[in-house]
Amino acid sequence: MQSVTVEFESFPIKRFVTKASPATTLQSIIDQACEKFDIKSSQGYVLYHKKDLLPNSTSIRFANLPPGAKLNLKFIGVGKSTLVQVALQTEEHGRLVATFPSNIRLWGILVYFEQKNGINLTRQSKGNYLMPVIVFMNKEYSSITLLREKSLRDLGLESGSGSLRLFLHAALNPIEFYLQEIEEATKESIDDISDVVSTPSATPKPIHTPAPTPAQVPITNEQKPTETPTVPNAQDQKIELVGNNIKLYRPPPDSMSAHKIELPPSFFEITSAELRMAFESQKSQAAYHENRPLMTQKMREREEKLKQEKYPKTMIRIRMPDRSIFEATFLSTQKVSELFDIVKSKLDKVGNFRLFITPPVQNLDPNQTFFKHGLSPASLVHFQSDSGEPWFAPEFLAEIQDYPVTATNQTSMEVEEEEQRSSQVRQQQQPEKKDKKFPKWFKPF
């Protein structure tokens, strides 16, 4: 916390001292000063530090102010509204971006995105009403009254761009208790939305959406049929993808088992060069983890997204008790419940069964996606059921195939030859040891 002195040029000069945290915005200091100096509205007032004009949306941390700074409060006039690019981060619908005039209210921003994208942000309920809460610079606007009163200019956003976060918090009463206030706030926001449409930088597509009716519910009902057909189409695509990749293999031959491959003793011998490489690798990894910067939540989400894009598909192989293999391919973003549904559709008798991975033994969670469950890009899953053989339906057993033999299944002779070749290469790469030279004055006994 640091103290900030605000001076207002009047007769006599008025001074106001307040304590602010690093996250406190200059707009909140202006609001406090105007209230202290009996100024009705804080619109049009700015803060100067010496001769530098400070943006109202800047926090104390980024304003580069010394401890005990003296700021001058001046009135520069309201003027015309300017354009501000706003990014609204939501939990369900991702990031919504549009350009608004600086005098638009926060409730108007929510109504605009509702009508443009056909979504519901202000009328959700789960038992009680889910109140929309907008967070900007660690300050919450958690009531319909505040969302109706506060504009982007009140938040300090008069130019450039800004990021708002939207959360839905459960209220104390059901939605019927707030319905009248919601309708009034929505009707008031129609004029603000028309200003958004008339701006050159706004997208021309939403121009016709607010025109038919001012009420919000009919508009969302009209726009829903245009978007809902796309969802089943995506689901149909996924089901078709999974269905075309379902295969059933016979148990692999015994010659492919790992314990059948006899490795030569030289395979387990470790050379000094290999030890040196392992030590250097471990040392570099330890230095990387010690010196790497702390990752924010946004950085972790970006890294996780890149990993998910790297493995768009997941191949699942289910090992049955008789060692037969059931194979299917899914999208990494699909839920594990679709694997359970596919297995049920192929069983002869649908009974109690479980799917698990090892080690350690962990049952698959149907509510998780394949990527979140750590099954991407490919995983081996085990099957356990109370019912006996046969597990699969006769028509599916008729499609059984031989297990594919890959080039990686080598015999012990091939492994030994490969090890001999690699050992020869390592010997060639090692530098020849030279006899140590002794100084002339040294006389060995």
pLDDT at 197 over 60: no
Q: Are 112 and 215 in contact (CB under 8 A)?
A: no
* Ramachandran angles phi, psi of 213, nearest 5°: -140, 145
Q: Which residue has the tokens 């053989």?
A: 389
pLDDT of 74:
83
Give helix 230-243 / helix 337-346 axis angle, nearest 10°. 50
Provide mean pLDDT across the span 66-72.
85
- Number of Cβ atoms within 10 Å of the Cβ of 87: 13
Q: Which domains does the chain have, with CATH numbers?
A: 2-75 (3.10.20.90), 83-227 (3.10.20.90), 239-257+303-397 (3.10.20.90)
**Separation of alpha carbons 365 and 350, rounded Å:** 19
Both structure tokens of 154: 């009140």
Total-model pTM: 0.38
What is the share, in percent, of the chain residues with pLDDT greater than 90?
Answer: 7
Provide mean pLDDT across the span 94-115.
89
Band (356; pLDDT cuts 50, 70, 90): very high
Band (232; pLDDT cuts 50, 70, 90): very low
pLDDT of 206:
42
Both structure tokens of 401: 């195939």
Provide mean pLDDT across the span 327-353.
86
Both structure tokens of 383: 């099957």
Q: Give 7-40 pLDDT, tens digit per residue.
A: 887 767 888 888 888 878 888 888 888 888 888 8
Both structure tokens of 151: 């504009």
